[in-house]
Amino acid sequence: MKAIQKTYSTKARNFLHGGDYFPEQWLHLPQYLQEDIKLMQVAHTNTFSIGMFAWSRLEPQEGVYDFEWLDEVIDRIHSFGGNVLLATPSGAKPAWMAKKYPEIRRINTRREQELQGRRHNHCLTSPVYREKVQMINRKLAERYQNHPAILMWHISNEYSGECHCHLCQQAFRNWVKVRYENNLEAVNQAWWTTFWSHRYSDWDEIESPSELGENETHGLILDWQRFVTDQTIDFYKNEIEPLRELTPDISITTNFMADTEDLIPFQALNYSEFAKHVDLISWDAYPAWHSDSQTDKELAVKVGFIDDLYRSLKQKPFYIMESTPSLVNWHEVNKAKRPGMHLLSSMQHVAHGSDSIMYFQWRKSRGASEKLHGSVVDHDNNTENRVFKDVQEVGHYLEKMREIVGTNRKAEVAFIYDWENQWAMKTIQGYSQESLRYPQTTQEHYRRFWERDIPVDVLNVNQDFSDYKLVVVPMLYLMKESFMEKLSTYIEAGGTVVMTYISGVVNENDLVYLGGWHEKLQSVFGLDISETDTYYPSDNNSVNYQGKNYVVKDYATILKDVSGDILGTYVADFYQDTPAVVRNQQGTGTSYYIGARMESEFQDDFYDHLIETLHLRAPVQSTHGKNVSVQVRQAPDADYVFIMNFGTAEETVDFEGKMIDVVTEEEVEKSLSLDAYGVRVLKKFK
């Protein structure tokens, strides 16, 4: 069991509440700046990220700096006790720079160079850009290093993307040389280049993946993605050098993202690597509530999963760096949050470990692409509108909840989520790209624990899971031998592991293990794998598990040499009556192998059984309907209990004993009812 950490992530020990503030858009209308300072206090906000897209105002011409407007804004925020998250401006380069130094403009996979425009599109390698970034960052650090309003550095904005210019190609070749210890033959082996005669005879022949060139050499693509992560981190390390030097006591974060279409973890960068280099994790959350494609409860499960994943990166509270107080402008349909949803969705992040609720953006822009994106202050400048009041309400809650800042969560269940695995799955030419859905499958297994209010940590393959009671490993197609070793040691020592179909197929170079399923996995799970069958939606089969039939969807693994206990068998097809679910004992531990993807009822029954067997418990026991989630943060003397209704009907929640409402200070005993999208934050003394 993990120890509870009491970590204080803010100077002030308050929840951060505020958002991205772009005063540089309003310098010609100074009355708005004055108004903002007033409204920030009316809104119960206290923290503002400033400067992230301000480079063309901070350095309007090369070497000519203008910080006076920023001085004034920071001073004014300080004057009412507010905090500043000072952002570095590298996410959007000024036009003069792009014109004078074309090498800083990205080259895409088709080897076309971008024009100046948009943002997040600089070369990751260009020495000129790196130097310019260091210069402006040094200036910011020199000027504001002792300013008491500065709480933290906000580095750049949502790092993403890749560049294929000649500088990046050379950097990639150097990276490959280091990884393969200068041995080109090792590269040829690892990438299996003899296939279609793609062997390299010289380092200079290596080129990044492109639809015009190499796009099916899976090992190359996997290494390119590793390189892009490493090069982004390297760029970031260059950015923060002057900050670490001049402001060693100011913490550093950069805002991570989710891939928002389906709300899965961000794919393009390996955040488990990036996390090692930031002081605190923060992320930007934009779930599409009230959509046609899923219920709010289904979406809430996914949000909970990502919060738990990002919290687990450092096993510490994190920050929500951006969210919208109302709607965004880039979903397919940009729907307003229904009454109650803003407070509820904000409290959900806090329940899972966030010490902040921040917004994009403070004041709605007048022009350009985000002029219709939700913000705290609308074009009407009116504090009486619904959105402004919703923000005030969140601010009021957070002020009342101060004692929760820094408390963590304690979990006995670990899920494994691996970025490299997701990359390898993206390039698979096999199974069905449509139905692989690795992150979504992991979220579907997580769902049952969320519904049972059982806390989960979501770990990457390199983190230690030896203290957990249960480790769930869905679809770990790319599996290193060192991970198999770790699993085996964990089970020998009494742990319980669940693993699914399509796991342990390839090694870290995306090369398939030879000689059947890996012998380590064979002995841990008491079986070998013969074939994997991929289904059309119209295919019909089921698994009989413990006397009940469950519909099989998408994948069915055909097993052989099974020495473990057979818990489930296929009902039809040429593998009728053969094992589909197997339990095996090794040492004092137990493993379960789920060979087929099944309807969600299987996850319900399978995990319910395991939850009973392992005596897994919600930290605070309660009974409630299926749209309600009860999540807990723990302090040494109390549990903070967030009771949340993601449904549109009133819900009753029953529990034992008494709790105190942290916001109203009322005592609540045994039962409470929640309106549609209602939330209560309660304290239960230990």
Residues with catalytic function = 158, 322
- Alpha carbon distance 581, 597 (integer Å): 11
User: What type of residue is 22?
Assistant: F
Task: State how far the Cα of 87 lies from the Cα of 270, in Å rounded to an integer.
Answer: 22
CB 344, min distance to ligand GAL, A? 19
Give the angle 86-401-665 at the CA atoms, nearest 5°: 160
Tell me how far, at minimum, the Cβ of 360 lies from ligand GAL, in Å. Answer: 4
User: What is the DSSP secondary-structure string of 278-290?
Assistant: -SS-EEE----TT
Q: 3-state DSSP call for residue 631?
A: strand
Q: x/- contact string, 100-139, with ligand GAL (CB under 6 A)?
A: ----------------------------------------
Q: Which of 10, 157, 586, 591 binds ligand GAL (CB under 6 A)?
A: 157
Taking the C-alpha atoms of residue 90 and residue 628, their distance in angstroms, rounded to an integer, is: 42
- Determine the Cα–Cα distance for residues 270 and 506; give it in Å rounded to an integer: 19
CB of 157 to ligand GAL, least distance (A): 5
Least distance to ligand GAL from the beta carbon of 321, Å? 8
Cα separation of 87 and 655, whole Å? Answer: 45
Q: What is the CA radius of gyration of the chain?
A: 26
Residues paired with residue 667 on neighbouring β-strands, in sequence order: 660
265 φ, ψ (degrees, to nearest 5): -60, 150
Q: Does 335 bind ligand GAL (CB under 6 A)?
A: no
> What span, in angstroms and rounded, lies between the C-alpha atoms of 215 and 429?
11
Per the CB < 8 A criterion, the answer to whether 464 and 493 are in contact is no
For residues 52 and 75, give the distance between their C-alpha atoms in angstroms, rounded to a whole number.
18
CB nearer ligand GAL, residue 325 or residue 395? 325
Complex with ligand GAL: residue 263 or 328, whichever CB lies closer: 328
Helical segments of 403-554, H only = 419-427, 433-436, 438-451, 481-492, 519-525
The secondary structure of 433-451 as a DSSP string is HHHH-HHHHHHHHHHHHHH
- Binding of ligand GAL at residue 444 (CB under 6 A)? no
Cβ-based nearer residue to ligand GAL, 239 or 453? 239
DSSP 656: E
Residue number with CB closer to ligand GAL (284 or 510): 284
Nearest approach in angstroms of CB 22 to ligand GAL is 9
Q: Tell me the torsion sign for CA atoms 451, 335, 676, 364.
A: positive
Nearer to ligand GAL, 24 or 158 (CB): 158
**Cα separation, 47 vs 20, whole angstroms:** 9
Q: Which is nearer to ligand GAL, 252 or 405 (CB)?
A: 252
Task: Return the number of the residue (356 or 631) whose C-beta is nearest ligand GAL.
Answer: 356
- Which CB atom, from 360 or from 575, has the smaller least distance to ligand GAL? 360
The verdict on 158 binding ligand GAL (CB under 6 A) reads yes
Q: Is 255 left (phi over 0), alpha (psi -120 to 50) or beta?
A: beta
The single-letter DSSP state of residue 104 is G
Q: Which is nearer to ligand GAL, 252 or 506 (CB)?
A: 252
- Whose CB is nearest to ligand GAL? 360
- Residue number, 360 or 640, with CB nearest to ligand GAL: 360
Residue 240 contacts residue 155 (beta carbons within 8 Å): yes
Dist. CA 188–CA 218, nearest whole Å: 12
Nearer to ligand GAL, 316 or 373 (CB): 373
Binding string to ligand GAL for residues 262 to 301, with x set by CB under 6 A, is what?
----------------------x-x---------------
CB of 90 to ligand GAL, least distance (A): 13
Q: Residue 532 to residues 416, 528, 555, 557, 583: CA-CA distances in angstroms?
A: 22, 12, 7, 4, 19
Shortest approach of ligand GAL to residue 346 CB, angstroms? 16
Size of residue set near ligand GAL by CB under 6 A: 9
Nearest distance from C-beta of residue 121 to ligand GAL, angstroms: 14
Q: How far is the CB of 326 from ligand GAL (least distance, A)?
A: 11
Q: Binding of ligand GAL at residue 203 (CB under 6 A)? A: no
At 682, list the tokens: 């309660």
Least distance from ligand GAL to the Cβ atom of residue 114, Å:
18
- How would you class 31 by CB atoms within 10 Å of its CB: exposed for 0-12, middle for 13-18, buried for 19 or more? exposed
- 360 touches ligand GAL (CB under 6 A): yes
**Given the structure tokens 């293990």, which residue do they identify?**
513
Find the shortest distance in angstroms from Cβ 442 to ligand GAL: 23
373 makes contact with ligand GAL (CB under 6 A) = yes
Helix pair angle (341-351, 386-400), 10° resolution: 30
Which residue's CB is nearer to ligand GAL, number 284 or number 451?
284
Q: Which of 16, 328, 478, 638 binds ligand GAL (CB under 6 A)?
A: 328
Listed residue (316, 12, 278) closest to 155, CA to CA: 278
Determine if 322 is a binding residue for ligand GAL (CB under 6 A).
yes
Shortest Å distance, C-beta 459 to ligand GAL: 26
Write out the H or E segment, with its range, that includes residue 497: strand 496-500
Look at residue 470 and give its three-state secondary structure: strand
| 327-to-336, 464, 480, 620 alpha-carbon distances in Å | 5, 39, 42, 33
Angle (CA) 450-456-460 rounded to 5° is: 130
Residues that bind ligand GAL (CB under 6 A): 157-158, 284, 286, 322, 328, 360, 370, 373
